[in-house]
Amino acid sequence: MASWQSILTSLFLRVTVKRRIDPHARPADARARVNRLAARFNKERDWIKVTPATTNGVPGEWVETTGEHAPSTDENARKVLLYLHGGGYIVCSPLTHRYMVARICRDAGLRALVPDYRLAPEHPFPAAVEDAEAAYRYLLDEGYAGKDIVVAGDSAGGGLTLALLLTLRDKNLPMPAGAALLSPWTDLALTGWTMLTNARKDPMLRLESANLGARHYLQGTSPTHPIASPLYADLAGLPPMTIQVGENEILLDDSLRLHDKAKQAGVNTHLETFAGMPHVFQAFAQIPESATAIRKLANFLGARARGEIGSPAITTAATSKPPAMSPQSSTTQAAE
């Protein structure tokens, strides 16, 4: 059963995001409102160090933890997380995601590079993919080996993470050691059944908003283009990945189908669905389930970057339909 904190947070999101943010608002207005909301959850912490960065022409920031939260060894300091923020390709920035990224870094013992990639509609597909690749190439140029790098992203940033992996594979560039996907948006054609079945339950996202975001980003590109919508790509050869998604999301099927397809392509993939959780619930530190999910993400990312594990945890095989949910816990699925 979902915690009372998550229930209250979902109510807050339903009132402040789903009901009040106009899906037809000008992107600049939507960004301003999202930034104001995000400021409530991104207060300054003395254990978070932020340094501006420019990576092959792409602005961004380094996020590190200090003091007792700093990486424990010099070797860990040479392990890095490349984090790609979500926001439907039209809103959000490194600032909106700073606290969540710092929490992952703290638990994983990593530092993170968060690029401020270009947003639509001013910069449609493939601008975001180009910027993600530029940031990754910057890390390689700085002496990081592929095995020292892990990549993660939420929502559109999760889809962008997959787009980056596919691009690296197709260009024969060194692959990162692993990837974590938080409620990834993998199907811009919006064909997932939960786009309809979870329309009322999702406290944050609307099909109408997703459709407009896809139109802003694609601007004539096919919604089934395999880099814009990685669900339609050949996923063979991708590194191990872990996927987390909330049971109440309209994007639930994007994760379920991705996991199933990745498994069929021979990718080490691990899927966990969290009962009663909203979209990217990991961002809300007041939710107990958020801390649990962040810890699991951090364990996976830290272990992959340090070469401590060969694959995600292995339990039962996935199906392409929503799994039956335990009333007390999340459901974990994996494939080797």
Query: For residues 248-272, b (16+ Cβ closer than 10 Å) or e, as one string?
Result: bbbbbbbbbbbbbbbbeeebbbbbb
CA 119 to the chain's CA centroid: 16
**Across-strand partners of 181?**
153, 243
CA neighbor of 26 nearest in space, from 34, 18, 14, 37:
34
Please check whether residue 254 is in contact with residue 184, taking contact to mean a CB–CB distance below 8 angstroms.
yes
The SS3 call for residue 221 is coil
What is the rounded end-to-end Cα distance, in angstroms, of the chain? 29
* Pairing label, strands 331-335, 269-274: antiparallel
User: Which of the residues 61, 133, 247, 249 is marked catalytic?
Assistant: 249
Q: Is 279 a known active-site residue?
A: yes
State how far the Cα of 156 lies from the Cα of 50, in Å rounded to an integer.
23
**DSSP-derived secondary structure letter, 56:** T
Please check whether residue 205 is in contact with residue 267, taking contact to mean a CB–CB distance below 8 angstroms.
no
109: tokens are 């013992």
CA neighbor of 322 nearest in space, from 220, 230, 145, 193:
193
Q: Is 247 a known active-site residue?
A: no
**Per DSSP, which regions of the chain are E strands?**
48-55, 58-65, 80-84, 111-115, 149-154, 178-182, 241-246, 269-274, 331-335
Residues 6+ apart with CB under 8 A from 91: 27, 30, 31, 34, 119
User: Which of the residues 6, 10, 93, 155 is marked catalytic?
Assistant: 155
User: Which of the residues 69, 97, 270, 279 is marked catalytic?
Assistant: 279
The SS3 call for residue 222 is coil
Amino acid at 175: M
**DSSP-derived secondary structure letter, 18:** I
Q: Is 216 a known active-site residue?
A: no
Residues marked active site are found at 155, 249, 279
